[in-house]
Structures are given as C-alpha cells and as structure tokens.
Amino acid sequence: MTSTPMVKPGEPERVRERPGAAAIGKSVVIKGEISSSEDLFVDGEIRGAIELRDHSLTVGPNGKVDANVTAREIVVQGTLNGNVHASDKIEIRKTGSLLGDLTTARIIIEDGAYFKGSIDILKPGQKTEPARVAVSGSGKPTVQPSLHMAAESRQS
Amino acid sequence: MLGERFRSLFRAAGELPANGGIVLAAGAARREAAARRFDAAEADRQSSGLRQFFEVLRGQPRMRILDLGGATQANINFITLQGHKLYTEDLLLSLDRLIEQARESRARQALPARVLAEHLNFPAGEFDGILVWDTLEFLEEDMLGPSVARLQAALKPGGTLLSFFHTHAKGETVPVYRYQIRDHQTLHLQPRALRPLPRAFNNRNLERMFANFRSVKFFLARDNLREVIVTR
C-alpha cells in the first residue's frame, strides 16, 4: 500500500485514484480488515472488510472487493461484492458491478453498470447501522444481500 | 439496409451478438418490421398498468418494491424518493449469463433450478410490489410456471405485480426495453436488444398463468403491448 498517487499521463480521468488516496495496486491481494482514516483506491483484490468512515473508497477498473464496506463515499469501477453503507454517496460506473445491500444518502448508476441488491436511501439526519462487518476465517465476508440470506435459511 | 442500421445500433450498445443471429433468423421482412417498432417505441409512453401499480401503493411509505428489469437511475430516484425501499435484479441479463454458462457446461436441464435458486430466491411475502416489465415472456416454458409461482410467493398478500406482454406471434422478433419510470403513469422505453418471442400470449394464457392470484387485470395499449396487473 502506498500513499503516493500513481497517475500516469494520458490515463483516462475516471481510472485515476483520488490525489492523496492510499492505493492498493493491481497485483496486491489482501485478506482481512482494512481500517483507514484517509481515502482508499483499490485496483487489486480485497477479501474481508473495509472501514473508512469519513473517507472515500474507489474500486478501480481492475479492483475486486469481497467485503462489507463503510465509508463516506464509494465509487465502483470494478467489482464489489458485499453490503455497503455510504453516509454520502455511492456511484456505480458503467464498468462497475455491485452485488449487495446498499444504504446511502445518494446513489448514481451509469447506464451499463450492474447492480443486484437492495437500496435504502438515508434521509437527511437519519442514522442507521453501518454495514455489519463479519469476517470468516478465510478472510471472506460472511454478509450477503439480506434477501438471499433469508432465502437460503428458508430453504435449509 | 434499415435492419442493418438497427443491428449496428444494438451492437454499439453491446447487447446483441455480433452475428445478429436472432435477427437474421427472423427474416428480412420481420427484421424491418421490428426495426420500425423499435423506432416507434423510442418515445415516452403512457402506462395504465403503472398508474394502477402506484395507486395501490399510494400513501403507504416504506413499501418494498422489486424491479426485475435491472437498476436504472430513473427508477431508483422515482421509487426511493417516495420513501420506498427498492430491490433490483436484472433477470434477463442474469438468465443470459446462466444460459451461456450452461452451454459451456452442457447443463441445460439444471437451468430452471438455478434461475430460481440464484435469481428468484426471495423470502416469502417480502415485497409489496413487483415490477416484472416484459421479462416473463422471454422465459422458456420450463422456467415460466416456477418463476411465476416464486414471484407470487415473494409478494405479500394484497401485493401487486406489473408485467408486460407483446401481442405478436410466436417467433417474432420484438425489441426488449429497459423501462424507465418518468412519473406515475409515464415510462421511457430504452432499447436493449431484439429477441424472438418463445411463445404467444393471449388473455386466456395469461389468466391461466396468473390463476393463483386474487385478481388479474389487462390493459391493451396501442403499441401492441398488453399490460397485466395482478394482485396476490
């Protein structure tokens, strides 16, 4: 992980991480919990949980995140599987795929983006529980979209 | 030539096979007809079914709505702004992905069970309303009945389901749309692809399909689309 922005000249704007954000590169795989008090750009793979509270998470075009996420703002250009709580905004770009239950104040979905799950919009001043963080021994998040969890328990 | 123009359009959207297989199979005349319908359906359209759907929900905050046409900004905004909770699933896209996987693994027989288990596995009585749009009419025979039963179970008693069916003949190629809600009774139809209809539906077929629901109501629109509102 590095705090140095890795911006290449000529690279499309939307692929870049935020200036000053911590970056997890393409070849990096992390299993476990990540807690940060700065913005985070993930272009590698994370399995576990991400807790950024007042900061933003960007899942880059090559990023693959299997984690429950709590952040102020979340931008998905790659793949994110997990329940997501964003106090401000969730943005799923056209290359992005998000599978999970969302709680957020605002959501932006570009045409072509894939999303499966529920959307709960927070009203101003409304507070809810952040995405529950539960990590199994394998480092994979155990929380799935709530409806499917319920369906599985019904079937068993 | 006109057909080619529209195939190019769909290819650009990345949702039609490069060989245009389903369109070519339908024949040139039908292709031209489909293209004309595509042209005509680009505009917004009024929907009596949609109006009825939201009339049932009016004044009831925190309703749970399932949209099987995939996530669109318009529908998310419209539904969540009324205080409802939205659940989205792109059933046709998920089905296409499963079919592709099944073709590779030659596991076509397991497909209906996988659709139910992976994409329609909702808890009983979970939703107050389900927006099915036109997805049911593209399901194969062996998936249709179980899928309708699963959706019925997912609705609360008194819950409402809105579904659309073309009035065209079996095998005809029809445009598939993304249905974007403009207001309580207006939809914007955004084209996604062309698909052949696996079967034709008439009122009798539909009544049979929804026989286990408490009520079935039809609206026949001028654009050859039959809107069906059913209540559990």
Tell me the DSSP string of B77-95: HHHHHTT-EEEE-BHHHHH
- The string of pLDDT tens digits covering residues A92-110 is 999 999 999 999 999 999 9
CA dihedral B127, B131, B136, B142 (to 10 degrees): -10
Structure token digits, residue B74: 């318009």
CA-to-CA dists, residue B156 to B61, B108, B129, angstroms: 15, 32, 8
CA A52 to chain centre: 10
The Cα A127–Cα B119 span in angstroms is 30
The Cα A140–Cα B162 span in angstroms is 37
pLDDT at A68 over 70: yes
Which residues share a beta bridge with A99? A81, A116
Average pLDDT, chain B: 82
CB within 8 Å: A116 and B73 = no
Average pLDDT, chain A: 79
Tell me if A56 sits within 8 A of A39, measured CB to CB.
Answer: yes
CB within 8 Å: B89 and A113 = no
Q: Is B121 on the interface with A (CB under 8 A)?
A: yes
The CATH class that applies to domain B2-7+42-231 reads alpha beta
List the 124-183 stretch of B: residues with Cβ below 8 A of A. Answer: 124, 126
The Cα B131–Cα B136 span in angstroms is 11
CB neighbours (10 Å) of residue B51?
16
Q: Which residues on chain A are in Cβ contact (under 8 Å) with B122?
A: 147, 151
Look at residues B65, B98, B97, B81 and name the one whose alpha carbon lies nearest to residue B183.
B81
Query: What are the φ/ψ torsions at residue A137 (nearest 5 degrees)?
Result: -60, -30
CB within 8 Å: A151 and B70 = no
Tell me if B67 sits within 8 A of B87, measured CB to CB.
Answer: yes
Q: Which amino acid is at B54?
A: F
CB within 8 Å: B122 and A147 = yes
pLDDT at A29: 96
Instruction: pLDDT tens for chain B, 232 residues: list them.
Output: 444 444 444 443 334 333 333 333 445 555 555 544 544 456 789 999 999 999 988 878 889 999 999 999 999 999 999 889 999 999 999 988 888 887 777 667 778 888 888 899 999 999 999 999 999 999 988 889 999 999 999 999 999 999 999 888 888 888 889 999 999 999 999 888 888 888 888 889 899 999 999 999 999 887 788 999 999 9
List the 81-110 stretch of A: residues with Cβ below 8 A of B. Answer: 92, 107-109
Which residues share a beta bridge with A106? A89
Taking the domains of chain B in order of start, what are their residue ranges?
2-7+42-231
The Cα B160–Cα A93 span in angstroms is 32
Tell me if B166 sits within 8 A of B224, measured CB to CB.
Answer: yes
Name all contacts of A81-87 with Cβ < 8 Å and 24+ positions apart: A81/A141, A82/A131, A82/A141, A82/A143, A83/A117, A83/A131, A83/A132, A83/A141, A83/A143, A83/A144, A83/A145, A83/A146, A84/A131, A85/A128, A85/A129, A85/A130, A85/A131, A87/A54, A87/A122
Look at residues B101, B80, B74 and name the one whose alpha carbon lies nearest to residue B180.
B74
Specify the DSSP element, H or E, that contains B182: strand B173-183
Region A23-27 average pLDDT? 93
Q: Is B15 on the interface with A (CB under 8 A)?
A: no
The Cα B72–Cα B194 span in angstroms is 19
CB within 8 Å: B121 and A148 = yes
Q: Which of A120, A121, A147 sits opposite B123 (nearest CB)?
A: A147
pLDDT at A6 over 60: no
pTM of the full predicted structure? 0.78
